[in-house]
Each structure stands twice: as C-alpha cells, then as structure tokens.
C-alpha cells in the first residue's frame, strides 16, 4: 500500500489537506499529527481532499470523527470532499455520512464553511 502524502493548502481561515495514498493504522499517525498541529495553532476549519485517497481503514474514519467533533466544539469543522465511490461506500456502510459533512467538490465544502 502506498504511504499517505499530505499537502497543506491554506485559504484564509481554511486549511485544505490533500491526501494522496492510503490511510491505515500505520500511515494514519501522519495525518493525526498534521491535524493536531492545526488544532494547536487554533485552526479549526479543515477540509480533507480525498480525491487521491486509495484506501481508508474504518478505525481511521472513526478517528476523523473525533477530530470533527473537537473542531465543532471550537465552532469549526472537519469536512470531507471528493471521496471515491469505494471510500464513500465504506463511509456509508458505517453510517458516518450522517455524522461527517461530505461534499463532491472542494468549492462546495468551502461555501458550506462561509
């Protein structure tokens, strides 16, 4: 499985993290530390661009919900954008689409933050 490469793009008060690769138990800590860093610098408006994400484990998805919840406590959010059908299926199976905000493109997600 490919490692996950994370590229950060900053747009005003928003941070877009472009994810490229796989997120499993071994590669998730990398995203976790990137998200923690944003939280420490009080940046709570985050969009995860999943267009190039090949795989995400259900445990990693669960952890993302934890991040979304903590962001919401700070009046922010963690939103997901551009999920592949395969990944959306996992999210839907777990019922997480009822908890996380999911968008088919990034602009939509940005507009939702405004």
Partner 1 sequence: MTPGLIHALGVVPLSWGLVVLSLLFLAILFARMRQLQRERDILLQEKDVIFGFVHDVGEVFVDADHIDLDHLLKRVLFYAQRTTHAGAGAIYLLEPDGESLRARAAAGIFPPLVGEVESGLEHALSKSQHVETLIKTRVVSKGEGLIGAVADFGAPILIEDAEPDPRVPHYDEDFLKIKTLLLVPMRFHQKTIGVMCVVNRVDGKPFILSDLNLLQSLADQASVSVHYAGFRETLDEKKRIDHDLSVARRIQTALLPKEIPRVDSVELAAFNYPALEIGGDYYDFVHVDDTHLGIAIADVSGKGIGGAIMMSVCRSILRAQAPGNLSPAQVLKSLNRVVCQDITEDMFVCMLYMILNTSTRELVVARAGHERPILSSGERGDFTIINSPGIAIGISEIETFESALEEATLQLRPGDVVVAYTDGITEAMNAQNEEWGIENFLDAVRVAAEEGANSVLNNVRQRLTRFVGNRAQYDDMTLLALRVMR
Q: Is 97 exposed, middle or buried (CB count within 10 Å of its CB: 0-12, 13-18, 19+)? A: middle
CA gap 27, 80 in Å, rounded = 18
Asked whether the beta carbons of 31 and 65 are under 8 A apart, the reply is: no
- Residue 4 DSSP code: P
- Backbone φ and ψ for 100, nearest 5 degrees, come out as -95, 145
In the region spanning residues 32 to 91, those forming contacts with partner 1, defined by CB under 8 A, are 58-59, 62-63, 65-66, 69
Q: Does 5 bind partner 1 (CB under 8 A)?
A: no
Size of the site for partner 1 (CB under 8 A): 14
C-beta closer to partner 1: residue 28 or 106: 28
Q: Which of 52, 94, 103, 108 binds partner 1 (CB under 8 A)?
A: 94
Closest approach, Cβ 37 to partner 1, in A, equals 11
Q: For tokens 């995203």, what's the residue?
A: 31
For the bound state, the minimum distance from the C-beta of residue 59 to partner 1, rounded and expressed in Å, comes to 5
Q: Which residues are at the interface with partner 1 (CB under 8 A)? A: 1, 58-59, 62-63, 65-66, 69, 93-96, 98-99
């Amino acid at each position: 499985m490919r490692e996950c490469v994370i590229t950060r793009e900053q747009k005003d008060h928003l941070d877009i993290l472009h994810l490229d690769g796989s997120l499993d138990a071994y590669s998730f800590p990398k995203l976790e530390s990137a998200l923690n860093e944003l939280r420490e610098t009080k940046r709570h408006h985050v969009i995860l661009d999943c267009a190039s994400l090949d795989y995400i484990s259900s445990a990693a998805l669960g952890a993302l919900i934890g991040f979304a919840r903590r962001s919401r406590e700070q009046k922010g959010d963690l939103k997901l954008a551009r999920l592949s059908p395969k990944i959306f299926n996992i999210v839907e199976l777990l019922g997480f689409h009822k908890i996380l905000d999911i968008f088919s493109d990034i602009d939509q997600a940005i507009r939702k933050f405004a």
